[in-house]
Amino acid sequence: MDDKEKVAAVDTEERVPTKKAAQYTGPVIYIGPGFRDSRLNHCMIFAGGIPSPEADDEILKHLFVPPSELNQALTELRTKGTALHTFYRAAVDRRGGK
């Protein structure tokens, strides 16, 4: 495997969601809707990974992204049919967000 193939393999591995991604402990940004009865606000930063109650939520946990993926995630959030748009809409419908 030459250097180009190694880079392509690493690049592909980083984009595929895995259990490793779910255990990410670096800073994350919440890109979901804000809620009146919650501490969550759109584009709120958490330094130590996804916070505990939201990490167990089947919808909200998908709305946290590492800073390096923020621009791409916000684009996907506005694009109908993408997973992030679907999770965002589900969060709004379930919790009455803005």
**% of the chain surpassing 70 pLDDT:** 71
pLDDT digits (tens, 9 = 90+) for 37-75: 888 899 999 998 999 889 999 999 999 999 999 999 999
Secondary structure letter of residue 29 according to DSSP: E
Q: Hey, which bits of 1-98 come out as E strands?
A: 28-30, 44-46, 64-65
As a whole number of angstroms, the distance between CA 92 and CA 74 comes to 16
Spatial separation of the C-alpha atoms in residues 59 and 57, rounded to whole Å: 6
- Provide the whole-model pTM: 0.71
Can you give the pLDDT at residue 36?
Answer: 81
Q: Strand, coil or helix: what is 85? A: helix
